[in-house]
Structures are given as structure tokens and as C-alpha cells.
Chains A and B, each alone.
Chain A
Amino acid sequence: MEISTEQEEGVTVVNVITSNLDASNAGRFKQAIGALIQPDQKFVLDLHAIGFVDSSGVGALLSALRQASSVGSNIKLCSTQKPVLVLFELVRMHRVFEIFATRAEAIASYKSATESA
């Protein structure tokens, strides 16, 4: 699993490069994201590489979101593959995370939120 970040318009985009986010690597993923989270940051997790997520992966994502929220940061998701989206809907992840089709839409959502604020 490879995790890299880049700054774009005040948003930290995290590239998660792995084919799966499952019980075998969810723990490592949780640690890696946890290390990235700083107060009052705007994160977008780009999941385009992930073809399979299981319940452990879901759990790790939820854990990261709670950690970010506790320090005033936010995490949005983008570029989910269809099988992953099917699971997310099954476990109502779409009601917890804001999920966008593309990275640009995700970044733009932060901007419009700021403007309207």
C-alpha cells in the first residue's frame, strides 16, 4: 500500500494506492492516515486505485473520519470504483462521508463551502 499526499487549493489530497482495502491491510491504512491528520485541515481521499473494500476497510475509513473531526478537520472521498460504491451504499457510508465522483469535484466542494461560509 502506498500513501502519498499533495496540496491543491488548500486541500490535502491523499492518494491511496492499493488494489484492496480489507482486513489484511486496514490496520496499516488506519495508522498511515492517522499520522497525516492535523488540526483544521481539509482532506480528500482519492480511492481510484481501490477495487475492493471490505468491512474492515470501512471501519478504518470511519475511524479516520472520527479522528479528523475531533481536531476540526474534515475528510471527503472521491473516485470510488463501482464495486466499492455498492458496498458503501449497503453500509450507508454515503450518509457519513461526502463522496464525489472526481477529485476536482471534491476540492471544489470545500471551496464553495468556504465561500458560502
Chain B
Amino acid sequence: MASDTINLSHGILGEIFPFHIAVDSNLRIRQVGDALARRYPELTADCDFARFFHIVQPEIKTTYHDLLDNLHSVFIIETVATFLKLKGQFVSDESKECLVFLGSPLIVDMGQVEDLGLSLNDFAPHHMAADYLLALQFRQVALEDARRLTTVLSQQRARLQESEKRYRSVVENVKDVIFQTDSDGMWTFLNPAWTEITGYSVQESLGKHFAEFVHPDDRQRNLDLFVPLIQRRKSYCRHEVRYLTRDGGYRWMEVFARLTLDDSDKSTGTAGTLSDITERKWAEQALKEREERLRSIVTTAVDGIIVINSHGIIEDFNVAAERIFGYSNLEAIGQNISLLMPEPYSSTHDLHMGRFLRTGESNAIGITRELAGMRKDGTVFPLEISVSAMHAGLEQRFTGIVRDITERKLWEHTLREAESAMRESALAIAQARAIEVEIGARIQQTLLISSPPASLNGVSICAKSTASCEIAGDYLDFVRYDQHHLDLIVGDVMGKGVPAALLAAAAKSHFQRVIGGLCLSLGKFNRIPEPEEIVSAAHTVMTPELAGIDSYITLSYARFDLEARKLTLVDCGHPRPIHYRAARDECVYLSGENLPIGFMQTEEYRQVEYSFSPGDLLLFYSDGVTESRAASGELFGIDRLADVLRERAQESVDEIFEHIQSAVTAFSETETASDDLTCVIVRVEPSTGQLIGKRMYREIHASLDELEAARDWFESFAGGAENTLLPEDDLQAFLLAFNEALVNVILHACKGDARHRIQMVLAAYTDRVSVSIYDTGITFDVDSVAEPAFDGTRDNGFGLFIIANCVDEIERGSDEFGRNRLRLTKRRCRLVQ
């Protein structure tokens, strides 16, 4: 086979393969590489190859023909004497009819390099390259290392080129020093190369002891080698020492010395050569560092490294690979790589590699894959392999970095199981959550959010709660006592989810039970319980229970007295209701000072009262409305809510709810609210009563003297004992208010000036009685009047207080003639009932 024949000059062959051996067809050694010759001087031409070498791999007989038949195999041969293993290949040099073993020491552990007295320099450059490429494939090798390795490689190449040059010129100029010494070690001959190298002239050197020119550190060692030679215990010595130069430096010299004998076989001294190897030494020095590094890499490597040739034959097999596969280095090398694979991979590997060699196509090169490997004991295990192809030496080789991933696979399997268990439980949780949401929604629909009672006169109510993705503890309840008294409870239990919803349902039924109980016991007094009584009673029952589960409830308990147009509020830490006052087109926030229920056992709940007028709106809501957040984190807030209410005050309560909802949604920029939006909007409808035909007119002078007559006129309207207009108490209260209003008009608007006229109109409707007082005086400034002092310290100030407390509506304004008009209205619902 042509590719297996070589035709290289001896010099180049020796430089590239310092360990080569050439044998002829009789297996007589014809030539050995320098490094080999240096270490085994006894290897001389014509020696029998079989006497010195033992073929470890492959298992063949040591015959010329067997060798010729195994040119593709990787050989491991061992020196019989020193057990130095050489790994390489036989190639045939047809022109000389010989076989040449091209190889290098087989080093599995870098420690051996030292043990065998080898240096990296002894290795063929191609082998170095392979090693470095291997090293490069270690992930531990940093970029810096890579650069240094590249430098070393180029130095190697440069050296090789230089060697070639040197060999060419060696014929013309002997650069080596040729010397002779006497038996004492004095120079007796030196050629001119001595001066060229050391700077000392031959003249001044002759007659001096060679040791004087040796570096002090090397001197003793040199003498130790010289003495046995002279004493004829050795016939030659070869070593490396530093020789001093004239300029104060030194040069590394390779010394080859042998004993010189006279004719009578007596020792006369030594003769030999000194070769300047300084540059090589320096390069070696640099390589030494690499060597150290490489050694640490290889010995700490956990990855197996397997090098195969293009025939699939294992050429290299490191310690980690031994551990992974169970084959020893010697067992593995020379075998086909399929040895390490289970079926079907082992059968198909050659095909795949063949295809790659032909076409360059591969699905294995350059990527990390997971494959199955087979150990020596036949067990199959998962491994991770990355294969790289390289051109090194004379042919294509493949290097595989192999990692046993059995444990990782086990771990991955465990992880996958854990993941799937987690997915299952996440699914179960999601299902449970979905069920919880569904239950929560059902609880909310059926238990928590009551609809307002139908057919209430004088109010329209929108009560709605839009469910968020999670169920909250919002609840709404209405209690209707009669046509005029309606209680509204807007509550919010702390927390979310089914627990909060259940608690809200419990709170709701607690309140109903409390109200039922109080109504029963107060029935004999002919009155209904006050809101503060109800909340206090509910608090007494619920707070210990709530405290026990660390929960609490905020709520607004509001009673609408539609007859008196009065709102009684017990506020328990709930967001403040908003009162839109139509007459002033303004919003007022209503608030009490009570704590949420469940906070404190000793809390006493107090109610506050507000009056409202036709056209007014009252808005109750949960914190889900005001605490909606914009993406910026800003809260929607009560002011924005009040603005929506005021802007939309003229629309229906349902439309107002829609506007609030869309305002909150637009603000928070999300489709679904994170919390429930619960709103109750109550509109006080304007009076719709019909005039029942009674209307009276009276004009008086602006004088207090007219006061009694005016009262008489007022009372006559009701018809005295025949009165069906208003109940007696209401009539008395109305009269008090009318009297106070008239006094104010006479004294303040008209300044008691009797020339002013005051007109009065009384009118009775189906639902109310009203009196209007017109005057032409100045406009009375209501706000200038001080609050009454109930402790008797001041005489005045009671007038307005009396008016406010005795009628249901007070309207101040002016008519189309510019007169001041004060209208007082008393509702007459009880009679209609």
C-alpha cells in the first residue's frame, strides 16, 4: 500500500521519530532513533530485534511477515530490559526493503515521564500535537493555556525546520566541540567550535581542568560521571551540563564522552563531543511548565480520553477511560472501538466512520451526544461523548472525550419523577383552586350578595358585586322593616377565598339573627332596634369568635328612614360612604369612628345621623373599588370615585354602577379586577306626590305682632280637630319650625321693618305638606348663626336648630320676582300608610 511506504532521510526521520526502529526482513535492527540510541547504547546495528523488544500488541508472532500483515495496527512494543513501552505503527520502506517502527513512549500517566528519565523533548512532535489537542479539549484548559500551547507548538515547528537546516549544514561545518582530556581531566584538545561557543580561546583553555569551565552547580555531578569513566567502570557517559562562557554567562552542552585507551588498553583519558543545546534547553524549560500543567490535567481528569485512528483502532486510552470501561490501557489499545459499544452501535460504527472519511458528513463530530457504552463486564451504561477529528501525524485520528453519566442519568430520572409529581400536584392544586373559586362564586351569588327589596317608595337602588378571579369576603344585605325603614349592611371580611366567603356568610346570618331577636324584644315597645344596638349586639356575639381566628370584619350599617329623609350610620372601619348632595352638586364623605368588628371586645358602637334630600345619591362600596391600583401603583381612591358619582349623578343607578366599573377597569388597565367591586348606589327620588287640593295664601306685615295670627292661620290649614293632614306631634313640630322661620324672616331679613310684606303659602300634597315664606328683605345668611348652646349659657341660636329638627326639608332660594323664598316641607307618609 503506497501510503504505508516512506522515503525519508535518516536525519529527518530521526528528528521526527526519536524512537524509531528500522528492521530488515530478517528482523535485524538497521537503525534506531536518537532518543532510543541515547538511552540504549547497546542497541547497535545488526542486533536481533526480538532480543531487545517484545511485542505486546497486537498478539502476533514476531516475524517479518506478521508485521507486514499488521501495518494498520497500533503496536505496543516493550523493551525487554527496562519495560519502556513504545506505541506506534510499522510502515514499510520498500526502497530499502525494511520495516520502520514509528512510535513514541506510551505514557498513560505523566508521572512515568520522569520515572523513565524522559523529557517531552524526546517525544515526536506529532505526538505532542496530539497530546496538546487532547489537552485543549479539556474544559479546564483556559484560553491563556491555549495560547501558550499554540506558542509551544509553533516553537516546535520552528525547531523542526531549524534542525533540518542544521542537518544540511552539518556536513559542511561541524558546530560541535570536539575534545580530548587526559586522565586527570585536563583539556588536551579542543577544536575552534569551543571558542565559538564559549568565547574562551583554545590556547588559554588547554592544560586547564575541564571542571573549571563547568557551571559551579553542575561541577560535582560532572566529576561524578567523569570518575567512573576514568576508572573504567563505564565506557562512556552522556549528560547535559552548563559550561561557562567568557562573557559571564553559560551555555547548555550535551556531553558525549568515552574512554580513550592506548594500545596496551590503558586508559589515557577521555574524548568526545560537546553539543550546544542551550536553545533546546530553554524550550524544554518552557515545556516543563506545560508538562506540569498537563500532568495535573491528566491526573485529575474525570473524563475518559480515547483516541482512535481512521480504522477505528484505539490508540490511546487514559486512566479515566480505564476506570469508566473497566479495560486496562493495554487491553484497550489496539482494539476496535466497537469493543466499547453495545449492539447495535458496535456493528454500525465502522459504517458511520467510513462515511465520514469518504464524505466528511457526520452527525457525531463536533457535538456532544449521549450514547450507550459497554463495560468490560458487559454492563451497558449511559455515556456522554464528544468526538473531534484531527489530522495529526500521518493520518486522520478521532479523539473522544467520554463521560460516564450513569449517576447523572439516575439524577435526571429522579428529577423527572419529581417534576412530574410536582406537575401532578400543581394540577391538583389548580383543580382545587378552580373548585374553590366555583364554590366561592356560588357562595357569593347565593349567600353573600342580597338583592335590594323590590317596591320601595322614594328610592331606587343598584346593588352589585362583580366577582374577581378570587372570591373575596364582600357581602351585602338588606333588611326592610316597613315601607320607610330599610337597613343596608355592606361588609367585608378580611382575607380572600372560601374561608373569607364562609365567614362573610356567617356574619351575614349573625346579623339577621341579632336583628330578629332585637325586633322581637322591642316589639312590645313599638319600636325597631337602632343601628347601633344591632351592631353592638352582633359585635358581642361575633368578636370573640373572630378574635379566635384572627379575623375581622369592616362594615357600614346604614339605616334609611325614607320618611324622615334620614340616614343613620354605624361605620365600622369600612370605606366611607359618599353622599352626593344634589342641591349643592357636591360629594360629602360620611364617616363614623368605630373599629371593625373583631378588633376589640370593649368597643362601643355609636351611630351618626345624616339627612338627605330628593335627588341625592348615597354610595356604599368595598375597598376593592378604591384600592384598585394603576400600573404605577397609584390607588383609585375615594376622590376619583366621588368624581364619577358626581359626573354621572343624573343617570340611573345601574348606569352609574357601569361607569364606576369601567372607570376602575380603565384605571387599573386590567381586564379582571384583582378584588371584588361591590357597590350599592341609592338614589333618593324627587317627590312625586300630587297636590291634594289644599292650598292657602296669607300676607302679613314684617312684624312680630303678626306672629300669633300667622300661627293661627297655619293651624287652621290642618283643620283643627278634623286634622287629617299630619299627626298631632308632626303638626306641632311643623308649627314650631314655621314660627322660627317666620321670626327669622321678620327680624333678620326684614330687620323688623313692618313696611316689608311677607307672603306665606301652605300646600298639601299626597305625601307632604309644605309652607313657603316669601319676603323682600335681605338674603339671610344661614351660616352666620351660631350653634345652639344647650347648657343654658346663651339665649339665642336655637331657631335654626329647631327648624332643622322639626321638618324634613328646608329649601332656600328666590323666586322669579327676586323675592327670598324659604320652603319647609313635612312628609306625611304615616297617614298614607
List chain A positions with a Cβ less than 8 A from chain B: 19-20, 22-24, 52, 54-56, 58-60, 62-63, 65-66, 83, 86-87, 90-92, 95-96
By a CB distance below 8 angstroms, the chain B residues around A92 are 790
- With A55-B740, A83-B732: A60-B705 Cβ-Cβ less than 8 Å: no
A91 touches B743 (CB 8 A): no
Q: Given that A60-B795, A86-B733, A87-B802 are known contacts, is A24 also in contact with B704, CB under 8 Å in the complex? A: yes
CA distance A63 to B732 in the complex (A): 25
Q: Is the Cβ of B707 less than 8 Å from the Cβ of A23?
A: yes
Contact B736 A91 (CB under 8 A): no
| Assembled-state Cα–Cα distance A106/B288 (Å) | 128
New A-B pairs, 16, CB < 8 Å, besides A22-B743, A52-B739: A19-B708, A20-B711, A52-B711, A52-B735, A55-B743, A55-B799, A55-B802, A58-B798, A60-B795, A65-B792, A86-B732, A87-B736, A90-B802, A90-B806, A91-B801, A92-B790
The distance in angstroms between the C-alpha atoms of A48 and B708, with both chains bound, is: 18
Alpha-carbon distance A90/B729, docked complex (angstroms): 13
Contact B796 A96 (CB under 8 A): no
Please indicate the chain A residues that have their CB under 8 angstroms from the CB of B798 in the complex: 55, 58-59, 91
Contacts of A83 in B (CB 8 A): 732
Alpha-carbon separation in the docked complex, A55 to B707 (Å): 13
The answer for the CA separation of A59 and B802 in the assembled complex, in Å, is: 13
**Complex CA distance for A86 and B708, rounded to whole angstroms:** 19
Closest A residue, CB atoms, query B788:
A91
Task: Give a binary string over B799-824; 1 marks a CB under 8 Å from any A CB, 0 the rest.
Answer: 10110011000000000000000000
* 30 A-B residue pairings within 8 Å (CB atoms): A19-B708, A20-B708, A22-B704, A22-B708, A22-B739, A22-B743, A23-B704, A23-B707, A24-B704, A24-B705, A24-B708, A52-B739, A54-B743, A54-B802, A55-B740, A55-B799, A59-B796, A59-B798, A62-B792, A63-B795, A83-B732, A86-B729, A86-B732, A87-B802, A90-B736, A90-B806, A91-B788, A95-B791, A96-B790, A96-B792
Closest to B707 in A: A24
The 9 A-B pairs of least Cβ separation, nearest first, read A59-B795, A55-B798, A96-B792, A24-B704, A92-B790, A23-B743, A55-B799, A62-B792, A83-B732
Say whether B426 faces chain A, with CB atoms less than 8 Å apart: no
**A23-B747, A55-B799 as given contacts; A96 in contact with B791, CB under 8 Å:** yes
Hey, which bits of chain B sit against chain A, CB under 8 A?
Answer: 704-705, 707-708, 711, 729, 732-733, 735-736, 739-740, 743, 746-747, 788, 790-796, 798-799, 801-802, 805-806
The residues of B that contact A95 with a CB separation of less than 8 Å are: 790-791
- CB of B796 within 8 A of CB of A55, answer yes
Shortest CB–CB separation between residue B536 and chain A, in angstroms? 24
Please give, as numbers and ranges, the residues of chain B lying within 8 Å of A63 by CB-CB distance.
795
In angstroms, Cα B806 to Cα A59, docked, is 18
Instruction: Tell me, in angstroms, the Cα distance from A24 to B742 when the chains sit together.
Output: 12
Please report the C-alpha to C-alpha distance between residue A84 and residue B440 in the assembled complex, in whole angstroms: 58
Is B790 within 8 A of A91, CB to CB?
A: yes
Residues of chain B within 8 A (CB-CB) of A86 are 729, 732-733
CA distance A58 to B793 in the complex (A): 12
Residues of chain A within 8 A of B711, CB atoms compared = 20, 52
Residues in A with CB closer than 8 Å to B793 are 66
A88 to B722, CA, bound (A): 27
Distance A83 CA – B704 CA, assembled complex (angstroms): 21
Chain B residues with Cβ below 8 Å from A52 are: 711, 735, 739
Q: Which residues of chain B come closer than 8 Å to A59, judged between CB atoms?
A: 795-796, 798
B712 CB, min distance to chain A CBs, angstroms? 11
Interchain CA distance A22-B705 in the complex, whole Å? 10
Tell me, in angstroms, the Cα distance from A54 to B744 when the chains sit together. 12
Instruction: Report Cα–Cα, A62/B704, bound state, in Å.
Output: 21
Known: A22-B739, A24-B708. A90 touches B792 (CB 8 A): no
A63 and B747 CA atoms in complex are apart in Å by: 20
In the complex, A92→B801 CA distance in Å?
Answer: 12
Q: Which residues of A contact B733 (CB under 8 A)?
A: 86
Q: How far is the CA of A65 from the CA of B794 in the complex (A)?
A: 11
